[in-house]
Structure 1
Amino acid sequence: MSLTEQQIRTAVLEELGNVAPDAELDGLDPSEDLRDALDIDSMDHLNLMIALHKRLGIEIPERDYPKLLTVDAAVAYLLARAG
């Protein structure tokens, strides 16, 4: 399955909205640390990793979770793994 950058970005933002439903995603800086920008904790971040894995079918090893702390970083990581 080949995914585009836009498909991955959409998935990241939608799953982020599911994990943090009260978060304001419209003005989110894609280079800002999600934990600070949206006040999500490590459990929310774990849930986001699980949701992205299920939705996109891309394996995300636990050791790589810190590489997905911004929207831009998550998109770049997932795009590289999808290819």
Structure 2
Amino acid sequence: MDRSEIREEVLDILKDIAPDEDLSDLKDEQSFREQMELDSMDFLDIVMELRKRHRIQIPEDDYVNLASMNSTVEYLEPHMSDIERV
């Protein structure tokens, strides 16, 4: 997957976790928590969904890298480079 495909995948996961949120104005550089009403359980759901969909293991120490869209895509890019989007 390239950066744009990873971004779309993250958006898809966010839509599933927070279906009432309007993601059309999501700012890539701003924290998800500042823009959306995500609690810690929602955040864990994002991590678990990445594991379920793509078998990506994200250590708890790395959760800080998933704060915004930019940091999430940057973190996931090396982990998802060999994955093809279906």
Q: State the TM-score, normalized to the length of structure 1.
A: 0.89
CA shift at 1:24, angstroms? 0.8
- Name the counterpart of 2:84: none
List 4+ stretches of structure 1 deviating above 3 A. Answer: none
Q: 2:32 aligns with which of 31, 34, 41?
A: 34
- Name the counterpart of 1:22: 20
Q: State the TM-score, normalized to the length of structure 2.
A: 0.86
**Contact persistence 1:5–1:75 (CA under 8 A):** yes
2:57 aligned with 1:68 = no
- Name the counterpart of 2:77: 79
Identity %: 36
State the AA in 1 paired with 2:47: M
What is the alpha-carbon root mean square deviation over aligned residues?
A: 1.2
User: How many residue pairs end up in the alignment?
Assistant: 81
**Contact persistence 1:11–1:52 (CA under 8 A):** no
Unmatched runs of 5 consecutive residues or more in structure 2 = 82-86
- Name the counterpart of 1:45: 43
